[in-house]
């Protein structure tokens, strides 16, 4: 009974928080506690308590005169949603076209801190699905073709910091576990705008990836094709890069198409 009451209370708090956010979203200028309480239907003391918790999480911002506006954390979260969810939706039809052209699994990955997260995938239909490439699967940046794209976009000092943080652990004898070897690989990626995974995450599996940039020119995702080594074809790189460019243009990125 107590557990049910606690759950009901938690839901009420969330509902009240959302009602306060709705009021703040509807009014462009800073909003007083009095107006927030009236428009949300909450008692001023209840609204004040919830707003204090929201302000501590930067979901709302409290100004010196006691008024409130939406907080910077919402912008950060909105940008994450933009980069992760909308890219999936935009990329999916292009991924399907690429899959039909090549006949192998196509993956879409984004960076989260020191890992790649795979947010979309087309099944190859010809081989068992590798766990590392399941939707929602994660892998260290330096062990994947998509992850290397993001490391190549980093500065030399950021790459060194990544190496110190992670220790560059390996999964196969082909994994790049030394910084000098990784630097050499990243330099090649910067020159050619394409990355390879040569059985570095899993024996018998190879990958080719190309970058996807948004309307601001930022690297937001990587498009890759993974296939068993005996079916891998490095010439796929041209088609993968062209498809990644199509997705980027759909996101608003201005870049000349590959011939």
pLDDT tens for residues 42-78?
Answer: 999 999 999 999 999 999 999 989 999 999 998 888 7
Q: Which two tokens stand for residue 182?
A: 């990784």
Provide the sign of the torsion angle of the four alpha carbons 33, 34, 38, 39, taken in this order: negative
pLDDT the model gives residue 166: 92
Q: Model's pTM, two decimal places?
A: 0.64
pLDDT the model gives residue 129: 42
With CA atoms as reference, report the closest residue to 145 among 155, 132, 158. 132
Give the list of residues 6+ apart from residue 235 with CB closer than 8 angstroms, or none: none
pLDDT the model gives residue 133: 55
Give the list of residues 6+ apart from residue 192 with CB closer than 8 angstroms, or none: none
Rg over alpha carbons for the chain, rounded to the nearest Å, is 23
pLDDT the model gives residue 252: 83
pLDDT the model gives residue 130: 46
Q: Which two tokens stand for residue 86?
A: 């909308």
Q: Which residue has the tokens 């990329």?
A: 91
Round to whole Å and give the CA distance between 153 and 189: 9
- Cα of first residue to Cα of last residue in the chain, in angstroms, is 67
Round to whole Å and give the CA distance between 207 and 228: 9
pLDDT the model gives residue 124: 57
Q: Which two tokens stand for residue 23?
A: 């009021």
Residues of the chain with pLDDT under 70: 1-8, 82-85, 124-136, 255-259
Round to whole Å and give the CA distance between 19 and 37: 10
Round to whole Å and give the CA distance between 145 and 95: 17
Residue 152 class from Cβ within 10 Å (0-12 exposed, 13-18 middle, 19+ buried)? buried
pLDDT the model gives residue 6: 64
């Amino acid at each position: 009974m107590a557990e049910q009451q606690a759950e009901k209370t938690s839901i009420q708090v969330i509902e009240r928080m959302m009602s306060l956010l709705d009021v703040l979203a509807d009014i462009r200028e800073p909003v007083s506690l009095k107006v927030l309480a009236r428009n949300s239907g909450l008692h001023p003391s209840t609204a004040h308590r919830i707003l204090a918790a929201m302000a501590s999480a930067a979901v709302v911002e409290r100004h010196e005169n006691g008024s409130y506006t939406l907080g910077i954390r919402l912008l950060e979260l909105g940008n994450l949603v933009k980069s992760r969810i909308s890219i999936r939706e935009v990329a999916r039809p292009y991924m399907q076209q690429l899959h039909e052209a090549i006949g192998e699994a196509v993956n879409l990955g984004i960076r989260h801190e020191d890992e790649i997260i795979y947010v979309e995938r087309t099944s190859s239909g010809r081989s068992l699905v590798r766990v590392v490439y399941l939707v929602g699967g994660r892998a260290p940046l330096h062990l994947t073709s998509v992850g290397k794209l993001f490391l190549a976009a980093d500065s030399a000092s950021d790459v060194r910091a990544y190496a110190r943080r992670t220790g560059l652990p390996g999964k196969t004898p082909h994994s790049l576990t030394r910084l000098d070897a990784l630097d050499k690989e990243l330099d090649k990626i910067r020159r050619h705008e394409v990355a390879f995974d040569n059985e570095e995450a899993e024996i018998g599996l190879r990958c080719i990836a190309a970058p996807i940039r948004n309307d601001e020119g930022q690297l937001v995702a990587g498009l890759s094709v993974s296939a068993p080594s005996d079916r891998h074809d490095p010439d796929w790189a041209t088609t993968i890069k062209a498809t990644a460019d199509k997705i980027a243009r759909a996101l608003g990125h201005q870049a000349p198409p590959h011939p």
